[in-house]
Amino acid sequence: MLRFRLSLLLAAALLLSLGASVFLSVALFERHQAQELTALLRRELQRVVSLMADPTVGERLLNAGYEHLSLQLVGSDGLVVVPAGDPPPIPLGEGWQEWGEKRVLVTSAAWTLGGRVPIGTIRLGYDGEEALATRNALRTSLLLAASVTALLAGVVALVILRRQLRPLAQLAEQAGALQPADPRLELPPLANDEVGRVGAALQLAVTAIRERQRDERQALAGVAHELAAPLTVVAGQLEALAAHDPSPQLRAARDAARELLHTSQDLLTLARGELRLPVELSVVALAEVAARVCAEYPGVRFEASTSGLVVGNQERLAQVVRNLIRNAVQATPSADGVRVNVYGEDDAVVLTVVDDGSGLDDEVLIHLFDQNFTRKAARGGAGIGLGVVKALVEAHGGTVTPARVSGGGTSFTVRLPSLDTELDA
C-alpha cells in the first residue's frame, strides 16, 4: 500500500542522510585530528633538531621522557643509536605507520654533526592509541546518536505521514464503496492540495455520472411510457380475439404482445428507479400470486403446499414470479416443461421455478443477473428481467438462486422471510 511504500522510502532517505552525516563527521574529525597531530609532531621535531645542535642540551633532551612521544636517533646504517637497548627503529616517512604492535604518527629529519655532516636521522613517533580510541569513541557515539535520532524521527515521520495520508485513505475508501447503479460520494473537508484536487475531480465525475444516469432514466421512462399505452391496447384486443378464435397464430400474437407489455413494465421500473425505492408492504399470499401468474401461461404446472404468507408488495412479487416464468417458458419448447412450486421451509417461504430446457453453463450462472447479460443474447434479448427479479427479491429481504437441474434444465429458487418470522422479529 502507498503508506507502507512511502514509509520505507522515508526511512531509507532518513537512514541514508544520517549515515552520510556520520561518515562525513567522522572523516572530517579524522582529517582534522591527523592535521593537528602532524603539526604538533613537526613542531616537536624542529625543536628537537634545534636543541640537538647544543650537545649539552641534546644529552638532557635524549634522557628526558615524553608522554606519548618516542624519540630516536638512528644512524645511517639503520640502527638505533639512542635510546639504548636495540629497540626497533621508528619507520621513516610521514603519517600513520605500524611500529611494533602500535599504530603511531611518525615524522623524521636529518641528524647532522655540527649542522653539516649527516650521520643519520632523528625520528619522532606519536603513540596514536589514545587518539584512535577517541576516534572510535566518537564514531560509536555518532552512530548511537544517529540511530536514536533515526528512530525518533522515523516515529514522528510515520505519525505525520499517516495524518497527511488519512484524507487520501478516506478518498480511496469512498471511491471503493461507490455503487455503480447509484454512485454517491460524501467526502470530508479536504485541504487545497493534490489530495483535495483529486477529491474535487472525483466529486465532479460522480456528479456528472449521476446527471447522465438521470437523463438516461428520463429518456428510458419516456420510451417505456410511450410503448406501454399502445401495447396495453394491442394486448387487450388480442386477448379478446384469442378468447373466440383459439388459432395458433392468434395465440402466438397474443403471447408476443403480452411479452412486450411486460418488458415495457420492466423498463419503466428501471427508468423510474423503483428498484432502489422502498416497497409498500402488506401481507401477501405468495401461492395466490404465483397461481394467478401461472394462469397467464397455459401449460405451466403449479403446486403449492402452503399459502405462503409473506410481508411484501403484491404487484412487485407478481412481477418477480412473472419474470421467472417468462424466462423459463422462453427456455423450453413448450410451457408444459415449466413447473412452479410454493412451499414452506424453516422460517422462509420458498418459490421454485423449474424448466426442462437445455440448462445453463457456469459462465452464464455467474453473469445471469447482470443487467445486460442474457442467455438469449444470440437472439437479441435485453437481459433486464432477471436483474429486476434479483433487485425486487432483495428489496423484500430474500434471495434468489439459480442452479442446473440434473438431466437438463434450470431452476430458480426464491426464499422470502415468512410472515411468522417477520412478526417474531
- How do the pLDDT tens digits run along the chain, 425 residues long? 556 666 667 777 777 777 777 777 777 777 776 777 777 777 777 777 766 665 444 445 544 445 678 888 888 888 888 887 778 898 888 888 888 888 888 888 888 876 677 888 888 888 877 777 877 888 788 788 877 887 787 787 778 777 777 777 777 777 777 777 677 777 777 777 777 888 888 888 888 888 887 777 777 666 666 666 677 777 777 777 777 777 777 767 776 776 677 667 666 666 655 545 455 778 999 999 999 989 888 899 999 999 999 998 888 898 899 889 988 888 888 888 999 999 998 889 999 999 988 877 777 777 777 655 554 543 333 456 787 888 889 888 999 999 888 878 889 999 999 988 888 76
User: What is the reported pLDDT for 379?
Assistant: 35
Is cis: bond before 83, omega within 30 of 0? yes
CATH of 278-424, one of 3.50.50.60, 3.30.200.20, 3.30.565.10, 3.40.50.300: 3.30.565.10
User: What is the reported pLDDT for 330?
Assistant: 84
Q: Could you tell me the residue ranges of all domains in the chain?
A: 2-150, 278-424
User: What is the reported pLDDT for 259?
Assistant: 67
The reply to whether 278-424 shares the fold of 2-150 is no
Burial zone of 12 (CB within 10 Å; 0-12 exposed, 13-18 middle, 19+ buried)? exposed
User: What is the reported pLDDT for 52?
Assistant: 63
pTM of the model: 0.47
Domain with residues 2-150, CATH architecture: 2-Layer Sandwich (3.30)
